[in-house]
């Protein structure tokens, strides 16, 4: 188990892009975020045909579900809590990682590219919406109008770490709803989408090996999280994906999760212990926030300021030559893309196995 003594926690270099008192730290540090919130995000994302094509091509969620969950959650936590230099480095290497996920759509005409701005916007909004929605459903409740405005402004700031444009991020709840309504006709529950969604709902796949005596409890926790995640999905989405759950379960799971998360939130060390079971590499990212360890420099930057200071290009403009070489290998020569970005990413996003 990770050492959780405050004196042994490594501080971040600075406050990154949000900092203490921000609504991002309030929402993303609640235990709903790395559990039901994150699971909802990765499940719903699979309804986008280009995205699920990329996921299916790489097979990461099937071949290494635990490390894939761990690395992805670590990245999202870094954007919210880590120092600006570390986040810029992670965003930069992620472009190289995503350069591998390109190819022809398995259903219909066209191609997919994980670095495509439209796919990145879908990931960004699905993730931030899911984290907030679950916080309000199973956590402390609705944000104030001022907090909600700040939250979506922060989402646009975080979008600067993706290849999409922050100008395309809605700044209100109604705007976010309009975006999802616009996306709805484009969503599809293809065979590979249904396979991925059901696979990602199996929480037990991302948990560490459990002693025999603890297996019933582990199974109960995984089952409760699956029920809670499905309960947040609208009926049309469940019907599209062939996911069924009774309205009674939808109702009964709410008090169970609200009480469980509230109890866990009473002690930051308990939260970190629980997080360690889901995502060990995320613990060092959020531990300074949970245990009140200030950064070496108490400063909040914008992504543009951070890129200028640390020498990184905007993600949309990063590694264009390498991405072109990947495209030439896949579409021109019919070969598999290079794993170079994936290998290099281990230094900052964690090991692949």
Cα(137)–Cα(254) distance, integer angstroms: 7
Cα(174)–Cα(21) distance, integer angstroms: 25
Contacts of 35 (CB under 8 A, 6+ apart): 225, 261, 278
pLDDT at 1: 46
- Residue 334 falls in which region: left (phi positive, over 0), alpha (psi -120 to 50) or beta: left
pLDDT higher than threshold 80 for residue 285: yes
Are 326 and 100 in contact by the 8 Å Cβ rule? The answer is yes
Question: Which of 59-63, 96-100, 166-170, 223-227 is predicted least confidently?
Answer: 59-63
Average pLDDT over residues 66-87: 95
At 147-160, the pLDDT tens digits run 999 999 999 999 99
Average pLDDT over residues 12-37: 97
pLDDT at 61: 86
**Exposure on the CB side of residue 339, measured as CA atoms within 13 A:** 5
At 117-143, the pLDDT tens digits run 999 999 999 999 999 999 999 999 999
């Amino acid at each position: 188990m990770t050492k959780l003594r405050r004196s042994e926690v490594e501080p971040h270099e600075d406050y990154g892009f949000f900092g203490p008192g921000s609504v991002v730290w309030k929402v993303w540090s609640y235990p709903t975020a790395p559990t039901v919130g994150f699971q909802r995000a990765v499940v719903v994302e699979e309804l986008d045909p280009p995205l699920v094509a990329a996921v299916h091509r790489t097979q990461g969620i099937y071949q290494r579900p635990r490390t894939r969950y761990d690395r992805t959650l670590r990245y999202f936590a870094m954007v919210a809590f880590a120092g600006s230099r570390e986040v810029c480095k992670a965003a930069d290497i992620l472009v190289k990682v995503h350069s591998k996920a390109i190819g022809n759509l398995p259903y219909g005409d066209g191609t997919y590219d994980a670095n495509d701005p439209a796919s990145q916007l879908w990931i960004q909004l699905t993730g931030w919406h899911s984290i907030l929605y679950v916080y309000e459903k199973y956590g402390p409740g609705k944000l104030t109008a001022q907090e909600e405005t700040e939250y979506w402004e922060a989402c646009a700031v975080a979008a600067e770490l993706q290849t999409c444009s922050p100008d395309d991020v809605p700044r209100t709840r109604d705007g976010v709803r309009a975006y999802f309504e616009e996306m709805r006709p484009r969503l599809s529950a293809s065979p590979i989408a249904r396979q991925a969604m059901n696979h990602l709902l199996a929480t037990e796949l991302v948990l560490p090996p459990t002693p025999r005596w603890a297996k019933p409890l582990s199974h109960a926790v995984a089952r409760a999280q699956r029920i809670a995640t499905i309960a947040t999905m609208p009926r049309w989405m469940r019907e599209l994906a062939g996911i069924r759950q009774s309205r009674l379960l939808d109702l009964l799971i709410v008090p169970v999760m609200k009480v469980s998360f509230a109890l866990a939130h009473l002690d930051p060390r308990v939260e970190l212990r629980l997080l360690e079971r889901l995502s060990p590499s995320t613990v060092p990212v959020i531990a300074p926030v949970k245990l009140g360890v200030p950064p070496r420099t108490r400063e909040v930057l914008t992504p543009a300021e951070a890129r200028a200071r640390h020498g990184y290009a905007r993600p949309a403009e990063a590694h264009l030559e390498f991405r072109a070489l990947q495209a030439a290998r896949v579409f021109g020569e019919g070969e598999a893309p290079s794993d170079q970005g994936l290998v290099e990413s281990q230094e900052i996003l964690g090991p692949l196995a």
